[in-house]
Amino acid sequence: MDQRLTMVTLGVRDLKRARAFYEEGLGWTLGGGVEGSVAFYQLGGILLGLYGLEALAEDAQLALPDLRPGQNFGGMALAYNVASPEAVDATLKEAEAAGATLLKPGQKVFWGGYSGYFADPDGHPWEVAHNPFWTLKPDGSVSLEAPE
């Protein structure tokens, strides 16, 4: 199996609400999908999909636990890397203004960077981070190579 990730799909309780958060709140552009069923966003070299939570669980043949948005942790966080600590704070404020819940304000972290977290309306945690040890390319992609 090649070492790559092509798409992340988030199970959402209300697709219309989720789309409003990402499109109207964060300003993302819908890349495609089936109206009322699924939405896709191009994020650099990968895709983000929004799909009904129950339908996603059924498709994966998994039982749907009693989830309460913002109260359960599924063992995964999405990350959005930015160029500076100031950009972390600005991005967290933007997400919060769009309807996200601030989970952790931006702060210096043990590994030498600066990060904070927000949860989207379905409780999916997003880390917003500045990692001074990685290279953030102009297209938004990140490289494990140290900056020059």
Q: What is the pLDDT of residues 113-132, one digit of tens each?
A: 999 999 999 989 999 999 99
Residue 69 binned pLDDT confidence (cut-offs 50, 70, 90): low
Give the chain's domains with CATH numbers: 1-63 (3.10.180.10), 77-148 (3.10.180.10)
Q: Rg of the chain over CA atoms, in angstroms?
A: 16
Residue 67 binned pLDDT confidence (cut-offs 50, 70, 90): low
Alpha-helical runs (H) found in the chain: 15-19, 53-59, 85-97
